[in-house]
Structure 1
């Protein structure tokens, strides 16, 4: 009974840490542009978000929650560069500032117009710092107290939208490839990157609860991940449907943060703004706390304790407070190419880590990862109008997975080249 309670608390906390700024604004917009194909878009979103995040949790659990071990077999220097890039994106550059900016735009402005954004960002990150400074308490605070309130508020909004649809769903999607758009929106949540990092916090909590056995730690982490994934699927489905019900009311140029505010206001009136403020505040604060803690733990381990956890957390909070004042739209705009660059390499390493015990040759990891980065760089260059036509003609390009076939080929080639030295990272056996 105690074990089940621990799994639920950790699973709820993981759900709340995943469910942040992007998770709240992307699904309604996806439903809006998808129209009556919203289930197709939702499927792509779930695959790129929940599906990959669950794989990342398992891969990280096999490496005892250490991101460096998930990335390690790609090579010493590349793993450090990639790891730092992931943690900086999840940390002060993109994800954490976006939580504060979203809370301000969706939770504060509709209720208190004219509230100073700088003052708000200071308040938000002081709260984050207070809740993060003791890493062993992070999960219990979120899972036991904050998440249940968040789930109740979300349920009120989604059930209201199902019982009283806001309009007829458009029969014509506003975009050409709904499934690919779902994948792209799933990327934007950064949950796959977050999963590998947040597993550090989760496993630390599991150990503090008395579970020391390696197999048991992997099993409990995976079970907590499944609890979080079920919750995410239900909430995402509801939010995507809400967006679809206003597909005849708004255009593709709608501001994403304004969309969910307007939906809530139409469904629940003035009380809806208060409910939305609670949802946004809790969702973004829990994510900010989890990611700040994960960033602190990563760089503390990377520097062998030379940089103290408390020092890193303070720096992250200060820098994030500054970046958050740029606004959600600006943060999303410059995050897209960065995520497109590092996502394929990260996903490649996550999947290879799941089969790490069967892959004896480290060159499989190295060749695959470098190929993923090369294809990603060419794809991003293409997005910036540097014409590289063949990159768009690779298999699965229309779904955003043009890197898969080149990565598989590179991995096969790597398997025939003898490595200079064997893998030094030990992984726990999956359950």
Structure 2
């Protein structure tokens, strides 16, 4: 008898996936983008939804369709060494180096800072980060319960608190959208700016990690055939896609409307605090603190779990799963105390490097059945994308690197030769060209021994 998931199972898995994706950055970036985009918020939001919702959804689908055990196996189709490089770089980025420590720092600055004396902020962040990652660690020690913790408990609570704020703001708007001027590049290239702003959520990267969490959750519900797993992954992902799209759009418009009553903020965290206080006063601050902390905690659980599982898989003779959970929780605690601004500044060049490689890998996995998983297609597409990723990294690097004469010469050459490079989209045409060439080669050559069949 063919087993199929119930509607409640699809909703639970989709809710879990949404909960894993939607952290504090997902709250603050669209609000701030809405303030900057002003009357161009429609175009900016469309670009943002492509990278912050569409690509993560495709990333989860790619893991399901590829019939791989996760990112490591998928990226190893290019080469085993590349598999180690890509997997380690991506997991450390969404894990203890950037995304994971950002969670507690944003929670503290948005929800806790108003209640801490200025001279006690350093100590307060240290204490808060220790307590935050201790809680995340305890949840992460039982990964089989992640759907219950995130999908059925933390995520509904988060949606309840966030829904109160959004519904109130939309029914009682702070100001009209049409009268808000767009800032900087949002005035000339709102779609592309929104597209790149979606990088900051890191969700397309996280999708390649969380995809295997979804697949495992589906397997635990009794689905075994690869085709059925792929189908159920897509259906569950649609739930997350709808939730994220609605909330992102609402937050973007909320940010734009807020300028009718408050000045342009320094970041989305400050904007959210001011909006919440505008509607609910001191109760708003408490509401925001609860919302942000829940958003961050549930994402932290998913990141710690995913990182520990992949490193145990890649290095089976090193440490146990529980030991990796402790290591990553401890590293995140240390990095969090560097401060939010430093974490965001250092993460930007890494994201500009990894995103093109991750996006091409997602599309290669989705199209893999068409070119029969031929290794040459993976290799050529990646080789054409890699130089642009390196150039994007150099362009976004700290000034001490990006302003050196040799780097400036390299960037000028790419700007002159590669279409869309100045918009941060220079990787697109080379990736498409590489895919076409690799696919063409695969059609006229036979697969050699050792290639991906």
Contact kept in structure 2, 1:135 and 1:201, CA below 8 Å: no
* Change beyond 3 A, Cα 1:64–1:74: closer
Pick from 379, 387, 392 the counterpart of residue 392 of structure 2.
379
Distance 1:156 1:76 in 2: 48
* Change beyond 3 A, Cα 1:162–1:395: same
- Note if 1:354 corresponds to 2:361: no
How far 1:252 sits from its partner (Å)? Answer: 6.1
Pick from 135, 155, 172 the counterpart of residue 127 of structure 1.
135
Query: What secondary structure, in the 3-state scheme, does the structure 2 residue paired with 1:74 have?
Result: coil
Contact kept in structure 2, 1:342 and 1:373, CA below 8 Å: no
Output aligned runs, 1:296-335, within 5 Å. 296-304=308-316, 306-335=318-347
Contact kept in structure 1, 2:64 and 2:229, CA below 8 Å: yes
Structure-1 residue corresponding to 2:190? 178
Query: What secondary structure, in the 3-state scheme, does the structure 2 residue paired with 1:332 have?
Result: helix
Structure 1, 222-231 or 407-416: larger mean CA deviation: 407-416
* Change beyond 3 A, Cα 1:249–1:70: farther
Structure-1 residue corresponding to 2:426? 402
Query: What secondary structure, in the 3-state scheme, does the structure 2 residue paired with 1:304 have?
Result: coil
Query: What secondary structure, in the 3-state scheme, does the structure 2 residue paired with 1:109 have?
Result: helix
Distance 2:242 2:167 in 1: 17
Structure-1 residue corresponding to 2:352? 340
Output aligned runs, 1:93-112, within 5 Å. 93-112=97-116
Query: What secondary structure, in the 3-state scheme, does the structure 2 residue paired with 1:110 have?
Result: helix
Deviations 1:140-199 (A, max 9, x none): 111111111111111111111111222233442102221122111101100001111012
How far 1:250 sits from its partner (Å)? Answer: 6.2
Distance 2:203 2:395 in 1: 25
* Change beyond 3 A, Cα 1:14–1:64: same
How far 1:331 sits from its partner (Å)? Answer: 0.9
- Note if 1:232 corresponds to 2:244: yes
Contact kept in structure 1, 2:14 and 2:238, CA below 8 Å: yes
Distance 1:75 1:7 in 2: 35
Distance 1:184 1:343 in 2: 10
- Note if 1:59 corresponds to 2:59: no
How far 1:399 sits from its partner (Å)? Answer: 4.7
Contact kept in structure 1, 2:68 and 2:74, CA below 8 Å: no
Distance 2:226 2:381 in 1: 28
* Change beyond 3 A, Cα 1:200–1:2: closer
> How many aligned residue pairs are there?
425
Structure 1, 106-115 or 66-75: larger mean CA deviation: 106-115
Structure 1, 35-44 or 174-183: larger mean CA deviation: 174-183
Contact kept in structure 1, 2:150 and 2:298, CA below 8 Å: yes
Structure 1, 58-67 or 235-244: larger mean CA deviation: 58-67
- Note if 1:26 corresponds to 2:29: yes
Structure-2 residue corresponding to 1:275? 287
Note the aligned Cα RMSD (angstroms).
Answer: 2.0
How far 1:420 sits from its partner (Å)? Answer: 4.8
Deviations 1:275-314 (A, max 9, x none): 1111101100000000110111111111135431111111
Contact kept in structure 2, 1:29 and 1:243, CA below 8 Å: yes
Distance 2:271 2:316 in 1: 45
* Change beyond 3 A, Cα 1:72–1:271: same
Structure 1, 383-392 or 353-362: larger mean CA deviation: 383-392
Structure-1 residue corresponding to 2:412? 389
Deviations 1:232-279 (A, max 9, x none): 011111111111013366666713321211111112211111111111
Contact kept in structure 1, 2:95 and 2:303, CA below 8 Å: yes
Structure 1, 179-188 or 113-122: larger mean CA deviation: 113-122
Structure-2 residue corresponding to 1:429? none
Distance 2:84 2:298 in 1: 27
Structure 1, 222-231 or 163-172: larger mean CA deviation: 163-172
Structure 1, 254-263 or 327-336: larger mean CA deviation: 254-263
How far 1:389 sits from its partner (Å)? Answer: 2.4
Distance 1:329 1:249 in 2: 26
Structure-1 residue corresponding to 2:305? 293
Distance 1:187 1:300 in 2: 27
Structure-2 residue corresponding to 1:161? 169
* Change beyond 3 A, Cα 1:240–1:98: same
Contact kept in structure 1, 2:349 and 2:392, CA below 8 Å: no
- Note if 1:76 corresponds to 2:100: no
* Change beyond 3 A, Cα 1:137–1:368: same
Structure-1 residue corresponding to 2:399? none
- TM, length-normalised to structure 1: 0.93
Distance 2:354 2:83 in 1: 12
Structure-2 residue corresponding to 1:369? 382
Provide structure 1 residue ranges, at least 5 long, that are not aligned to the other structure: 426-431
- Note if 1:203 corresponds to 2:215: yes
Query: What secondary structure, in the 3-state scheme, does the structure 2 residue paired with 1:211 have?
Result: coil
Structure 1, 158-167 or 35-44: larger mean CA deviation: 158-167
How far 1:111 sits from its partner (Å)? Answer: 3.8
Contact kept in structure 2, 1:57 and 1:221, CA below 8 Å: yes
